[in-house]
């Protein structure tokens, strides 16, 4: 259902009768949907809780057992906590009396977006609530960090569970402990809560009972109109992908074409958002003949499509068609995230066949190759959870996009769940139009066979970085045999591909000339960082064989601004001579349709509103 919301107006007085009447009307409309969603949530939780596939209960039991076995540390931790609580009360008591306080809000507190409303600092009661919460969070995380007797995996699982717990308990998430919500309720006669309930009802699927938080104004964006607008043509397609060639913006172009290989977890247009932050448009403007793979959004008919198919019918077929279209023998390839993992395996496969010259240079954006410490995502992939997940995708023929989206949301629950619960359902505001969040929610399904191979061979067994441990199309994969020059770009705050792990991955390329660059920010913002914004910065150190990522960073030089121009300087000697610019309309391949093509517009098999 789609409800109409009244405009939120500030009122001088609160009218409880009018509020009750409006609220009961909305409840009458929304209660059946709420009950259906609640029943489904309880059933889903019960099925997970009975098996505890994430083994959080096991880690929690071990934590308490170890803590009680060390009563001296437990007692000291309690005394320490009480001292900090006493200090908070004393400071705020002095503040109440009008005295100057010694303890100012820390820079960390002031930067915490949850507590940006002035009332959190100015109102003594809410300041106490905030400080008590933050001290409690630090106390819990310190207890977890110093717990002895746990394995590394158990401690990581416990730390993740503790972060989820503390994020959920933030006073900013609840009506009675968030001054911004209370003020809005008084100022609008409760209209914010009524609008919030309508937003909640709008986010419930009336048929399935599923719940999906709206993170942006989806009607504000349309792929091909205000996203993915760089001119070009689809010049080839097969069952797995469309190959897009972009129209030149310069009179001449470099001889060696540039091929972008995006992840197939999300759609390719993260590389071509708005013109001002489009990496594809920027590369075209530098004089590259740019191609990009646009992956299909698979349904159950793709159940048997495997990792080898993505290599053969994806990268290798794209290279073959680019050779035909441009009359060249080589390409410069760029792989993003899992697209980079696929590129690494393809390079090793070509090296095993003696055909490595097909790819002249390789660039890897936030790419995991060594999965030993693959971040919080690996916590969801123990053997028991893998079995639950594989049973599900075997039944469906694919891993549905909603499951992937929910997992990534949980990894950043503060930013991608709780902040929107407060904004949408308590403050009653519509989410802000944000192109990046539109793309983030425009996710895709994953074929069953491919995804099982990826999870077991990469995340579970970490075979890719082991010489000859993985076989693709009859060839043993050995990254040390690769001689292709490589540029690695990782991001310091990446929660999906932790930069220390990506640094360890580049060490597998023992026979290649490797340049490693570390960008500030995260998995997306650190990559999509155009020079015109002059934002963030990056680190470089030519010694890519440092014993650890920390040592590499300690001796690295920091540069302000975008890494794009640095990458272009590295790439340019590998682009060949300049020649007249190539138009997709004048090659040997017949254009099929204009960019962005039709594959990128396909929604998941189980239709969802995006």
Q: What is the CATH number of domain 232-400+445-594?
A: 3.40.50.1820
pLDDT given at position 208: 57
131-140 contacts: CB < 8 A, separation 24 or more? 131/88, 131/92, 132/85, 132/88, 133/169, 133/170, 133/171, 134/109, 135/81, 135/84, 135/85, 135/88, 136/81, 136/166, 137/166, 139/77, 139/80, 139/81, 139/84, 140/165, 140/166
Ramachandran category for residue 594: left, alpha or beta (phi over 0 → left; psi -120 to 50 → alpha): beta
Q: Which entry of 337, 486, 491, 508 is annotated as an active-site residue?
A: 337
Distances in whole angstroms, Cα of residue 10 to Cα of each of 15, 113, 193, 198, 316:
12, 24, 13, 19, 61
Q: Is 491 part of the annotated catalytic residue set?
A: no
Label residue 263 exposed, middle or buried (CB < 10 Å: 0-12, 13-18, 19+).
buried
For 565, phi and psi rounded to 5 degrees?
A: -70, -35
Does pTM top 0.95 for this prediction?
Answer: no
> What tokens appear for 3 in the block?
């409800």
pLDDT given at position 607: 37
pLDDT given at position 50: 46
What is Dmax (Cα atoms) for the chain? 82
- Report the C-alpha gap between 498 and 371 in whole angstroms: 10
Q: Which residues of the chain have pLDDT under 70?
A: 1-14, 22-23, 25-27, 29-56, 99-110, 205-209, 603-610
Going from N- to C-terminal start, the domains of the chain cover: 16-190, 232-400+445-594
The per-residue pLDDT for range 560-591, each reduced to its tens digit, is 999 999 999 999 999 999 999 999 999 999 99
pLDDT given at position 48: 45
Alpha helices in 169-234 (DSSP H): 179-187, 191-202
The per-residue pLDDT for range 278-336, each reduced to its tens digit, is 999 999 999 999 999 999 999 999 999 999 999 999 999 999 999 999 999 999 999 99
pLDDT given at position 95: 78
- Report the C-alpha gap between 222 and 269 in whole angstroms: 12
DSSP 464: T
Q: Are strands 290-295 and 258-261 parallel, antiparallel or unpaired?
A: parallel
pLDDT given at position 207: 57
- Report the C-alpha gap between 117 and 178 in whole angstroms: 9
The per-residue pLDDT for range 533-557, each reduced to its tens digit, is 888 999 999 988 888 999 999 999 9
pLDDT given at position 605: 46
pLDDT given at position 315: 98
């Amino acid at each position: 259902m789609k409800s109409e919301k009244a405009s939120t107006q500030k009122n001088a007085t609160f009218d409880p009768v009018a509020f009750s009447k409006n609220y009961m009307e909305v409840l009458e409309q929304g209660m059946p949907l709420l009950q259906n969603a609640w029943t489904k949530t309880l059933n889903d939780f019960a099925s997970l809780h009975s098996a505890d596939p994430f083994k959080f209960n096991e880690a929690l039991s071990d934590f308490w057992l170890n803590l009680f076995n060390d009563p001296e540390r437990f007692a000291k931790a309690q005394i320490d906590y009480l001292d900090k609580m006493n200090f908070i009360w004393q400071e705020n008591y002095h503040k109440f009396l009008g005295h100057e306080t010694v303890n100012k809000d820390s820079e960390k507190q002031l930067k915490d977006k949850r507590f940006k409303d002035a009332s959190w600092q100015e109102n003594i009661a809410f300041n106490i609530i905030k400080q008590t919460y933050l001290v409690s969070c630090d106390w819990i995380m310190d207890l977890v960090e110093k717990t002895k007797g746990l394995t590394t995996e158990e401690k990581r699982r416990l730390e993740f569970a503790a972060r989820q717990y503390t994020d959920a308990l933030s006073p900013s998430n609840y009506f009675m402990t968030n001054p911004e919500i209370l003020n809005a309720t008084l100022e609008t006669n409760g209209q914010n809560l009524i609008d919030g309930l309508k937003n909640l009802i709008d986010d419930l699927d009336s048929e399935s009972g599923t719940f999906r938080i709206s993170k942006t104004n989806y009607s504000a964006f349309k792929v091909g109109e205000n996203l993915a607008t760089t001119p070009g043509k689809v010049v080839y397609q097969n069952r797995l992908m469309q190959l897009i060639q972009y129209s030149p913006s310069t009179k001449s172009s470099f001889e060696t074409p540039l091929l972008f290989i995006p992840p197939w977890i999300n759609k390719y247009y993260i590389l071509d958002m708005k013109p001002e932050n489009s990496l594809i448009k920027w590369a075209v403007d530098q004089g590259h003949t740019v191609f990009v793979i646009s992956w299909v959004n698979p349904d159950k008919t793709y159940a048997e499509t495997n990792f080898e198919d993505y290599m053969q019918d994806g990268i290798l077929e794209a290279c073959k068609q680019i050779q035909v279209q441009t009359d060249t023998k080589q390409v410069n390839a760029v792989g993003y995230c899992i697209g980079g993992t696929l590129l690494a395996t393809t390079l090793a496969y070509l090296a095993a066949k003696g055909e490595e010259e097909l790819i002249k240079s390789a660039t890897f954006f936030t790419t995991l190759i060594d999965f030993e410490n693959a971040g919080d995502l690996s916590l969801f992939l123990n053997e028991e959870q893998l079995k639950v997940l594989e049973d599900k995708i075997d039944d469906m023929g694919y891993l549905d996009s909603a499951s992937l989206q929910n997992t990534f949301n949980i990894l950043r629950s503060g930013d991608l769940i709780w902040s929107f619960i407060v904004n949408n359902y308590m403050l009653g505001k519509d989410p802000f139009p944000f192109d990046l969040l539109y793309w983030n929610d425009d996710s895709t399904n994953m074929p069953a066979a491919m995804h099982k191979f990826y999870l077991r061979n990469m995340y579970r067994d970490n075979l890719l970085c082991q010489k000859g441990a993985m076989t693709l199309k009859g060839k043993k994969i050995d990254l040390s045999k690769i001689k292709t020059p490589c540029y690695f770009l990782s991001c310091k705050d990446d929660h999906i591909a932790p930069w220390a792990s990506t640094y360890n991955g580049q060490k597998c390329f023992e026979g290649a000339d490797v340049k490693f660059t570390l960008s500030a920010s995260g998995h997306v913002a650190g990559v999509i960082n155009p020079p015109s914004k002059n934002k963030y910065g990056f680190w470089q150190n030519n010694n890519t064989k440092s014993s650890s990522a920390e040592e590499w960073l300690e001796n690295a030089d920091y540069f302000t601004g975008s890494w794009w121009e640095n990458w272009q300087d590295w790439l340019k000697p590998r682009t060949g001579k300049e020649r007249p610019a190539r138009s997709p309309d004048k090659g040997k391949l017949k254009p099929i349709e204009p960019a962005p093509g039709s594959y990128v517009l396909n929604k998941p098999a189980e239709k969802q509103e995006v």
